[in-house]
């Protein structure tokens, strides 16, 4: 593939960007009375309004041409059909197969039977726990579930559990512990009765130190009530069944997780078990169906009409042609409070790369910093910088038209703020020192249901995929997180002895030795 920044489509975008100069969005609206209709997309109850962006029709055509030139269509085809899209680890990335309901033959094996069998086991198990036919040693119904996992084995499920709380009646309370800081595990366990607590250890590798450390603490806590046999209170979700069994999880309580599912794309697998325990398997199936609907839209819609492609192209536009280094995620919905954290892993672990799939250094910026928080709280913390700071920060505003509560007055205020903020970012008030002309996407869903949540999350998965395809980087590996892990395991034994540590750079030695001199003995 030609160097990205020397490609025909890239150079055309570069000249177009120069020609646009300081174009004002307000002028683009004035010139096109149909701009809202022309620059918005609707799909299954979701509206994406991208009219408040620094783009005109030609910009979008040139961006679509870039997507074509970079082979987004072929790569998408590889993604959906089990081709090797994770080129460094030489494997497919088949999160879409988890929700497709379709046969898919990879290396001569149809994946559908194992996916279906796992979903059936999840249905039996979640049904049993929710009705009380599956209990722990005490015979009492499980009242609480603790999911121990980190990264993809935590963020997606935690987000979904919180977002779908209105669907959780009749299920156990679901808690998440991820950080190896024992304050997290202790704070969670303090509220719980071990006799009625089910513990899920979610780890693709079953080697992640944070998860295993917390799993040992929780297993010890369970043993206080059950004697030594804790098997009935433990479940594992892993691709490494043997290690889970060695840890003490009964073999029939190990739910599989396959190496063709990336951690940050794993909500749709048995990693979603805590979600299904909380909201029931029918609602979990709806979540999968929502994602399936977004997959179909992504696969079938022309690029010009595709929500994920549009979001990705706008991301590339600001990242690479305006120098925008970050992107804000602003859910106007308290139940989506964990969406920025989930998208941080999804996007930044996927896009934080500076080497292409061909092993060359990239010749343009790749992943932006993803950050955000729910509105309206965020308006009272960092919005000042969005409005009047020196940096351009594109933002996605996300809300549901219909809330799950009955306080319609509050919801109207929430949404009035959403609309006001996107308008203020665009229009500004130049006389008063508000420059305006700051871009945003608005995503409105009819109601936040399992189905629309599934669509929303799949929308961002595909956005990330398209961006990485354009940049030529692998969205499905994360070698960068390994170095720190290796160093931590080297430093851990050094913390034990009394001797001063001298093996590292002066700063690291100094920090370690300060800690050793000051810790509790």
* Binding site residues, ligand F6P, CB under 6 A: 150-153, 203-205, 208, 211, 263-264, 349, 478, 481
Q: What is the DSSP letter of 398?
A: E
Q: How far is the CB of 467 from ligand F6P (least distance, A)?
A: 18
Give whichever of 256 and 263 is closer to ligand F6P, judged by the CB atom: 263
Q: What is the CA radius of gyration of the chain?
A: 24
| Residue number with the smallest Cβ distance to ligand F6P | 263
Cα torsion 146, 341, 49, 306: sign = negative
Q: At closest approach, how far in Å is the CB of 320 from ligand F6P?
A: 26
Sheet holding 40-43, edge to edge: 40-43, 46-49, 440-447, 395-402, 326-331, 369-372
Shortest distance, CB of residue 129 to ligand F6P, whole angstroms?
22
CB-nearer residue toward ligand F6P: 45 or 352 = 352
Residue given tokens 């001199």 in the structure block: 517
State how beta strands 105-106 and 109-110 pair: antiparallel
Smallest distance from the beta carbon of 221 to ligand F6P, in angstroms? 20
- Is the CB of 47 or the CB of 245 nearer to ligand F6P? 245
The most distant pair of C-alpha atoms in the chain lies apart, rounded to whole Å, by: 75
Residue 416 DSSP symbol: H
CA 292/CA 278 separation, integer angstroms: 21
Task: Give least dist CB 356 to ligand F6P, A.
Answer: 20
502 CB burial (10 A radius; 0-12, 13-18, 19+): exposed
Find the catalytic residue in 18, 380, 405, 496: 380
Pick between residue 391 and residue 490 the one whose CB is nearest to ligand F6P. 490
Q: Give least dist CB 478 to ligand F6P, A.
A: 5
Residues 6+ apart with CB under 8 A from 185: 148, 177, 214, 217, 218
Cβ partners under 8 Å of residue 373, min gap 6: 330, 337, 340, 381, 382
Strand, coil or helix: 229 = coil
Q: Cβ 263 to ligand F6P, closest distance in Å? A: 2
CA distance 497 to 515: 12
Nearer to ligand F6P, 49 or 349 (CB): 349
**Cα gap 82→107, rounded to integer Å:** 9
411 flagged as catalytic: no
Catalytic hit among 216, 408, 447, 485: 485
Select 263 or 367, whichever has its Cβ closest to ligand F6P: 263
DSSP classification of residue 45: T
Q: From the centroid of its chain, how far is CA 90?
A: 23
- The active-site residue, picked from 75, 210, 286, 349, is 349
Q: Is 376 helix (H, G, I), strand (E, B) or coil?
A: coil
**Residue 207 CB, nearest approach to ligand F6P (Å):** 7
Closer Cβ to ligand F6P, 151 or 308, answer by number = 151
461 classed as catalytic: no
Using the minimum distance from each CB to ligand F6P, give the nearer residue, 269 or 422.
269
Could you write out the three-class secondary structure of 111-146? CHHHHHHHHHHHHHHHHHHHHCCCCCCCCCCCCEEE
Based on the residue annotation, tell me whether 349 is a catalytic residue of this protein: yes
**Residue 151 zone, left/alpha/beta (φ > 0; ψ -120 to 50; rest):** left
| Contacts (Cβ under 8 Å, ≥6 apart) of 229 | 137
- Rounded to the nearest angstrom, the gap between the alpha carbon of residue 266 and the centroid of all alpha carbons in its chain is 10
Residue 358 is classified by DSSP as: T
Which residues does the annotation mark as catalytic?
349, 380, 485
């Amino acid at each position: 593939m030609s160097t990205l920044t020397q490609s025909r489509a890239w150079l055309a975008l570069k000249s177009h960007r120069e020609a646009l100069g300081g174009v004002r969005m307000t002028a683009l609206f004035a010139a096109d009375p149909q701009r809202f209709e022309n620059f918005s997309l609707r799909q299954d109850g979701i509206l994406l309004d991208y009219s408040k962006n620094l783009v005109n029709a030609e910009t979008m055509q040139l961006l679509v041409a870039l997507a074509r030139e970079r082979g987004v269509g072929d790569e998408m085809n590889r993604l959906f059909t089990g081709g090797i899209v994770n080129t460094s680890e030489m494997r497919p990335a088949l999160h879409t197969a988890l929700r497709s309901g379709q046969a898919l033959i990879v290396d001569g094996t149809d994946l559908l039977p194992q996916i279906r069998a796992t979903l059936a086991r999840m249905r039996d198990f979640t049904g049993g726990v929710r009705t009380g036919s599956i209990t722990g040693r005490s015979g009492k119904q499980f009242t609480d579930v603790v999911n121990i996992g980190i990264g993809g084995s935590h963020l997606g499920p935690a987000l979904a559990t919180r977002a779908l709380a209105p669907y959780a009646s009749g299920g156990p309370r679901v808690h998440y512990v991820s950080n190896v800081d024992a304050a997290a595990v202790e704070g969670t366990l303090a509220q719980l009765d071990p006799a009625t607590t089910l513990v899920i250890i979610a780890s693709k590798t079953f080697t992640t130190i944070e998860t295993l450390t917390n799993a040992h603490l929780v297993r010890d806590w369970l043993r206080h009530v059950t004697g030594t046999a804790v098997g009935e209170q433990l479940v594992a979700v892993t691709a490494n069944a043997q290690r889970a069994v060695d840890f003490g999880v009964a073999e029939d309580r190990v739910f599989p997780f396959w190496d063709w599912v990336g951690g940050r794309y794993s909500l749709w697998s048995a990693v979603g078990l805590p979600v299904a325990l909380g909201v029931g398997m029918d609602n979990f199936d709806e979540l999968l169906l929502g994602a399936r609907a977004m997959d179909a839209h992504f696969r079938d819609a022309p690029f010009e009409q595709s929500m994920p492609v549009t979001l990705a192209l706008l991301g590339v536009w600001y990242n690479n042609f305006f120098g925008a280094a970050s992107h804000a995620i602003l859910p106007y919905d308290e139940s989506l409070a964990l969406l920025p954290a989930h998208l941080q892993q999804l996007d930044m672990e996927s896009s934080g790369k500076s080497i292409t799939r061909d092993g060359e250094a990239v010749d343009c910026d790749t992943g932006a910093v993803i950050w955000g928080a729910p509105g309206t709280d965020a308006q009272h913390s960092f919005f000042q910088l969005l409005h009047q700071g020196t940096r351009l920060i594109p933002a996605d505003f996300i809300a549901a038209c219909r809330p799950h509560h009955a306080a319609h007055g509050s919801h109207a205020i929430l949404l009035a703020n959403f609309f006001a903020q996107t308008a203020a970012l665009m229009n500004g008030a130049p006389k008063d020192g508000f420059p305006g002309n700051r871009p945003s996407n608005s995503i409105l869903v009819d109601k936040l249901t399992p189905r629309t949540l599934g669509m929303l999350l799949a929308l961002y998965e595909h956005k990330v995929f398209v961006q990485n395809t354009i940049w030529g980087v692998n969205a499905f590996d994360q070698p960068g997180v390994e170095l720190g892990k290796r160093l931590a395991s080297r430093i851990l034994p050094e913390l034990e002895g009394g001797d001063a540590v001298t093996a590292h750079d002066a700063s690291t030695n100094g920090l370690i030795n300060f800690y050793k001199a000051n810790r509790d003995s």
